[in-house]
C-alpha cells in the first residue's frame, strides 16, 4: 500500500509543516527557514513506505520547491475562468527556472476544466516549443 505525504505552508508563510508534525517544525530541517531537501530526505523515517510526496502548497512553497530543484512532476488544473489581479499564481519567488517538462497526461472534463500532468525530462534537454 502506498502513502502520500503532503507538505504545505503555514498561514504565516514562514514555515512548512508535514503530516502529524506541528506547524513550524520539521525535525532536523529547521523551524523558521526550512531546508526542503533535508525535510524531504527525512520523510522515509517519518512515514516508512511513502511512495511519493504530493506538495499541495501555495505559490510560495511551489516556488521554493522549484528553486531547490525538487519538482519531478507538475499536476496542473486549468480553469475556464479568467482571473485577474496581482496575486501570486503557480510559483511565487522562484528564480529563473530552466527545468523542462513533457506532457504525460491531459484530461478535459465536461465543464472545460483541463487537468494536465507534466513529467520532468530525464535527459535535461529543453522541451520542444
β-sheet bridge partners, residue 120: 101
Domain extent listing, the chain: 1-57, 58-129
Residue range 37-80, pLDDT digits in tens: 988 888 888 888 888 888 887 898 888 998 888 988 999 999 99
Percent of the chain with pLDDT over 90: 19
- For the chain, the average pLDDT equals 75
Give the highest mean pLDDT range of 1-5, 39-43, 74-78, 118-122: 74-78
7: Cβ–Cβ under 8 A, 6 or more apart, which residues? 16, 17, 18, 36, 39, 40, 53, 55, 56, 57, 61
- pLDDT for residue 22 is more than 70: no
Domain covering 58-129 in this structure, CATH number: 3.40.430.10
- Higher pLDDT: 87 or 11? It is 87
3: Cβ–Cβ under 8 A, 6 or more apart, which residues? 47, 49, 50, 51
Q: Give the pLDDT of residue 27.
A: 58
Q: Are 91 and 66 in contact (CB under 8 A)?
A: yes
Amino acid at each position: 500500500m502506498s502513502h502520500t505525504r503532503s507538505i504545505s505552508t503555514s498561514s504565516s508563510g514562514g514555515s512548512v509543516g508535514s503530516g502529524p508534525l506541528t506547524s513550524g517544525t520539521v525535525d532536523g530541517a529547521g523551524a523558521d527557514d526550512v531546508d526542503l531537501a533535508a525535510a524531504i530526505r527525512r520523510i522515509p523515517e517519518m512515514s516508512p513506505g511513502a511512495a511519493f510526496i504530493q506538495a499541495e502548497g501555495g505559490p510560495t512553497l511551489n516556488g521554493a520547491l522549484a528553486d531547490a530543484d525538487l519538482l519531478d512532476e507538475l499536476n496542473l488544473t486549468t480553469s475556464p475562468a479568467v482571473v485577474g489581479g496581482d496575486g501570486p499564481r503557480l510559483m511565487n519567488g522562484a528564480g529563473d527556472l530552466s527545468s523542462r517538462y513533457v506532457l504525460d497526461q491531459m484530461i478535459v472534463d465536461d465543464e472545460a476544466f483541463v487537468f494536465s500532468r507534466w513529467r520532468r525530462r530525464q535527459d535535461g534537454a529543453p522541451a520542444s516549443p
